[in-house]
Amino acid sequence: MAVKELEKFYFSQTAIKTYLTCPLDFRSRYIDKLIWPSGYNKTEKQQAQIERGQVFHTLANRYFLGIGSQEKVEAGSEARDYLERLKDYLPVEAGIRYLPEYELRYNQDGVRLMAKFDLLYIDSENGEVIIYDWKTGDNQPETSYYQKDIQTILYQFILVEVGERYLPADFKPGDLKMIYWNPNYPEIEVEIEYSKKQHQENKNYLYNIIEEILELEYAEYAELTPGDKCYRCNYRPICEGEQPEESPVVEDDLDLDLDWEMLEEIKFYN
């Protein structure tokens, strides 16, 4: 029998990405709820990197809300430097609607999805809508990585589907773009366009994945493990009886930790 309670679960980009990486990892986190404490299996340096990203996201949120709080963050600290770079990159302008840390949910046809946008930028006068996402990793992935990334697929899909009340009149999917920006590379904008055709493809893709997950029986997750991702996985002691190997923090780890901190995805809704 499929895992019944997942029918009420809102899938985030991290949950879907976890499933795509290893279904057993997904089962451990979201069904068995085997949660490790913040900082587990991280070196001090890695933990500091994760915390820096979290502070930056908080500062960015307050900046776009118009709440000045940067003076509480140590001058000269990396998080403060990140904020200064963000202000240079995206100065707040009159006439633009900024919605930071904005969450939207989609619930249709038995498919439940959620997105928490770092920033929605809505310029109704010029019909421009941008989803901004802040990255803070040391490495800057290629545009092709972000084009295929589940976060891009999910975020653009959800905004077009359920963002109507925020979007300009006569809005079309082609008016939307998503921009990834990393204060470590302030000159680089990774911009992903959108279209009606892409929207339909994204819908098909998301529906297929969710349908696949909802049909899985509990035991089947363990049969679908890819086997080549275990060396750095936190569940390795359970699956293989060995400690995970030390490896550099990648952007997905930073996203996961932000997500994990909020524990938003662990909630189930009626």
Gap between the Cα atoms of 233 and 156, Å rounded: 29
Gap between the Cα atoms of 47 and 254, Å rounded: 10
The nearest distance, CB 217 to ligand SF4, in angstroms, is 17
Gap between the Cα atoms of 5 and 12, Å rounded: 16
Residues that bind ligand SF4 (CB under 6 A): 22, 24-25, 28, 225, 229-230, 233, 235-236, 239-240
Nearer to ligand SF4, 3 or 90 (CB): 3
The nearest distance, CB 229 to ligand SF4, in angstroms, is 4
The nearest distance, CB 30 to ligand SF4, in angstroms, is 12
Which residues, 6+ apart, have CB-to-CB distance to 228 below 8 Å? none
The nearest distance, CB 26 to ligand SF4, in angstroms, is 8
Nearer to ligand SF4, 121 or 235 (CB): 235
φ, ψ of residue 100 to 5 degrees: the values are: -85, 155
The nearest distance, CB 28 to ligand SF4, in angstroms, is 6
Nearer to ligand SF4, 240 or 246 (CB): 240
Nearer to ligand SF4, 99 or 266 (CB): 266
Nearer to ligand SF4, 201 or 212 (CB): 212
How many C-beta atoms lie closer than 10 Å to residue 189's C-beta? Answer: 14
Gap between the Cα atoms of 40 and 25, Å rounded: 16
| Torsion angle, alpha carbons of 160, 3, 22, 16, to 10 | 10
